[in-house]
Amino acid sequence: QQKVQQSPESLIVPEGGMASLNCTSSDRNVDYFWWYRQHSGKSPKMLMSIFSNGEKEEGRFTVHLNKASLHTSLHIRDSQPSDSALYLCAASPWVGDNSKLIWGLGTSLVVNP
Amino acid sequence: NSKVIQTPRYLVKGQGQKAKMRCIPEKGHPVVFWYQQNKNNEFKFLINFQNQEVLQQIDMTEKRFSAECPSNSPCSLEIQSSEAGDSALYLCASSLWTGISNERLFFGHGTKLSVL
């Protein structure tokens, strides 16, 4: 059983549309969530991180966190074909080494032009 | 472009052969991680270092892998006797270390290992 569950497994949205990705941790010893993006054949790159309840916005990307349910979501508005990638969610304790990062299996996003 | 440099990009080995891959972390990053990403995108933590010292490693790494991060040389990860199940993308990542917060990881492009 994955301790970090991501849904959906794959998502197709039209260019200009909104993409919504979900991530929930069943491990209650986490406090910090990360979203990484991995384009095909490339290395994962950190998109956003969040540890406080509420939301955080950076350009077209908004991330929400509900600490009570350990659920985070990533929303991409005005999706572009270049956003097509694997989106990975990871969770970690607030203070601790990153070997305790727990990774989800990712959501594969395709943005159709 | 990734500032974490991994070589080689592709590695093909027969079962039982050694497989060695290298990683140069981003300048100034004392912490180095190795992950195995399989075809299902599952990330498996293998080992991490702070400077030259091993911080943590899993049992599999301890038993079957040899890893080091010498000063002034690339870090390396070597499978002593490759198995078909070792076929995967091996990702190296580096980060700062503050001790009071989590720092993001900077990944290399990975070494794709195929064990025939």
Residue B114 forms beta bridges with which residues?
B12
HSE-up (13 A, CA, CB side) for residue B88: 20
B41–A86 C-beta distance less than 8 A = yes
Cα–Cα distances (Å) from B6 to A11, A71, A78, B58, in that order, read 31, 34, 34, 21
Distance from C-alpha of B65 to C-alpha of B80, rounded to nearest angstrom: 6
Q: Which pLDDT belongs to residue A1?
A: 67
Contact B107, A43 (CB under 8 A): yes
Question: CB distance B40–A105 less than 8 Å?
Answer: yes
Grouped pLDDT means (10 residues each) for chain B, 116 residues: 90 97 94 92 90 88 92 94 96 82 86 96
The model's pLDDT over A57-111, given as tens digits with 9 standing for 90+, comes to: 999 999 999 999 999 999 999 999 999 999 999 998 766 666 678 899 999 999 9
* Distances in whole angstroms, Cα of residue A59 to Cα of each of A26, A72, A94: 29, 18, 25
Residue B107 has phi, psi (to 5 degrees) of -100, 150
Buried b / exposed e along B43-81 (16+ C-beta atoms within 10 A): bebbbbbeeeeebbbeeebeeebebebeeeebbbbebee
Interface test with A, best of B7, B43, B50, B59 (most A CBs within 10 A): B43
Let me know how long chain B is.
116
- CA gap A48, A88 in Å, rounded: 11
The model's pLDDT over A22-71, given as tens digits with 9 standing for 90+, comes to 999 998 888 889 999 999 988 999 999 998 899 999 999 999 999 999 99
